[in-house]
Structure 1
Amino acid sequence: MEHAPAALPQLRPMSLGDMFDAAFRLYRRFFLTFIGIAALLQVPLAIAQMAVQLLVGGNLLTNWMRVVTRPGSTGSNPFENLPLGQIITYFALVFGLAMVQVLLTQSLMTGALANAVARAYTGRPVSIIQAYQIGWRRFFALVGAALATFLVGAVALGVLGGCTVGVGFLLLRSGNENAGILAGVLVAIAAFGLFALLILASMFFYTRLLLTTQAIVLEGQGPLAGLARSWRLTSGAFWRALAITVLMYILAYIIAGIPASVISFALQLLSAGDLTAVMRNQAIVSGVALLGQIIVIPLQLVIYTLLYYDLRMRKEGYDLELMAQQAASV
């Protein structure tokens, strides 16, 4: 959807209140364009996910219940006659769609949104298709950054988890009863500490790498260079960026999380004891959550992109004309 050129904003360092005010105004002005960008890939993927849940998952659950409730099955092993082929197919499809969502859809969509927001903010709005054409140019760099972040997180989790399990195993192998009790206590404490550490570490690294998409899309950075660029931009502004991140998570929970939770609870009450409705209810809740995400994700990209400009203004003194030329040339 084309828009008339917007009046160029006066670029200046903004307070949190000013930034959110500017973000909501920009979001309202280009609401249909931003929502259209978010929905273009999200909706078809969500339909595919719901189809898997309703058709493959529903059929799997029906066959499973038929095996478990079969006459003469009482006292026998209910896992002997499970439809393993259907189970493998279902979870393979769920995992495959999840990977498409995380690595491909999210990367292309956020790339298109970041550039659409930047151009709208600098008075050069684009249509939905133009936004995706621009985002596609940086698609593989965005996927590379997502993969690099995932691999680092997986390695860190593996190391911490392996150390915890290893200490417990060594204590158990000692043959000492007290050592066994101590091992159980230590593993429980370590598991709790690991969980808390992972939450804190995730918040820290997510905040420091918050502007990776903007660095890759608007500056033409590569995957690792984009991560490093975000790290530099948020240096000295961690608490400011963290505050924005927390506020956006709260807003996302209000818009997407609460409605999905309420509907999930209501569906469970209405279909209590009806196991055949499990997949249907899950598909409905997923659809409600998707609608909330389509509303929230563009707003997140708006506020994060404004934060990107704000930090560049504070750290580098870039004026509006230079940044507009830079966004248009990538």
Structure 2
Amino acid sequence: MESALADVELLLPERSLGDILNETFVIYGRHFAKFLGLAGAVQIPATLALSAPIENAAIYIILNLISLIALVSIFGATIYAVGQHYLTDSVMVVDCYRRLMWRLVSMAILAAIFAVITIMGLLLLSFVGVTLYSFAVATVLILGAYIVPALVGPVVIIEGVKTIAALPRAFELARQNVLRMIWDLLVFFLVAFGLGFVLFTPFILFFPSETDALSRTLVVVSLIAPAVVVPPVLSIAITLLYYDLRVRNEGFNIEKLSQEMGLAAV
């Protein structure tokens, strides 16, 4: 019987942007409950903390940093989950977070890099003034700056290298695909934003006018729903983009994925 490892072209083909988006929702739908659990484990506590009344600016900043770390944690865990999908056709949430903990410091550094890029982009936008043109330019610049960090996550989690070594590795993967990555990341973020908007809108329609317990509960739920559902979509898409870059440049296949993740294909 021919091994599944021999049929690498079927398992890891070259993918266009449309193919990546389609495969993203195929994977998400196949393991929907697992991805909700993976994201909810960190996003529900983080969102509840941020939704509480906060008067101290320092505490607010700390909670936002925790929220950023939660997002990067989902990113790292989801990267491993996508690999599990291809190798075992299953997702084990505990193993995903175990892999994340193995490279926790590297992923924390990645969170700091994302934070610095975002803050610099917002400062630039506030300095030049918010117009349609400045917003478009700032968006392109931020997405351009996100290219290497976006690939650092998969390099760290899949290839197992630390951040310092992952940065030049990610740069090498992105070097000849800058325009493609800016466009793909823009589309990924727009899809994620659209999904979040769709999830949030129904709650707005049913918000009671009074500020009571029911109203506060609806506000919290309206924040939790997109916070849990949306991040895996973005993370899966970026992981598949990383796969595609390696497939095109290195002949990446299931056997290499299995070796790097230390997980046998079944």
TM (norm. structure 1) is 0.66
Distance 1:306-1:131 versus aligned 2 partners, 3 A rule: same
What does 1:15-34 align with in structure 2 at a 5 Å threshold? Answer: 15-34=16-35
Contact 2:79-2:236 within 8 A present in 1 as well: yes
**Partner residue of 1:238 out of 167, 175, 178:** 178
Aligned residues: 256
1:316 aligned residue = 250
Contact 2:31-2:91 within 8 A present in 1 as well: no
TM (norm. structure 2) is 0.80
RMSD: 3.2
Deviant stretches of 4+, over 6 Å? 155-158
Q: Which amino acid aligns with 2:43?
A: Q
Give the Cα–Cα distance (whole angstroms) in 1 for the partners of residues 125 and 38 of structure 2.
39
Distance 1:280-1:221 versus aligned 2 partners, 3 A rule: farther
Distance 1:201-1:107 versus aligned 2 partners, 3 A rule: same
Cα deviations by residue, 1:111-154 (Å, 9 ceiling, x for unpaired): 11111111212336341112111111111101112213434665
1:111 aligned residue = 76
Alpha-carbon distance, 1:260 to partner: 2.4
Give the Cα–Cα distance (whole angstroms) in 2 for the partners of residues 241 and 211 of structure 1.
10
Alpha-carbon distance, 1:221 to partner: 2.2
2:111 aligned residue = 146
Q: Which amino acid aligns with 1:211?
A: L
Structure index of larger Rg: 1
Task: Say whether residues 1:102 and 2:36 are aligned partners.
Answer: no
Alpha-carbon distance, 1:161 to partner: 8.7
Deviates more, 1:255-264 or 1:220-229: 255-264
Give the Cα–Cα distance (whole angstroms) in 2 for the partners of residues 238 and 143 of structure 1.
25
Q: Which amino acid aligns with 1:97?
A: L
What does 1:1-330 align with in structure 2 at a 5 Å threshold? Answer: 9-50=10-51, 52-53=52-53, 87-88=55-56, 91-103=57-69, 105-123=70-88, 125-151=90-116, 154=119, 190-192=128-130, 197-261=137-201, 263-264=203-204, 267=207, 270-271=208-209, 281=215, 284-328=218-262
Alpha-carbon distance, 1:213 to partner: 0.9
Alpha-carbon distance, 1:155 to partner: 6.2
Cα deviations by residue, 1:24-61 (Å, 9 ceiling, x for unpaired): 222222122112111111112223333x23xxx5xxxx
Alpha-carbon distance, 1:96 to partner: 2.1
Alpha-carbon distance, 1:317 to partner: 1.4
Q: Which amino acid aligns with 2:129?
A: A
User: Unmatched 5+ residue regions in structure 1?
Assistant: 58-86, 165-189
Give the Cα–Cα distance (whole angstroms) in 2 for the partners of residues 210 and 282 of structure 1.
35
User: Unmatched 5+ residue regions in structure 2?
Assistant: none
Alpha-carbon distance, 1:313 to partner: 0.9
Contact 2:74-2:232 within 8 A present in 1 as well: no
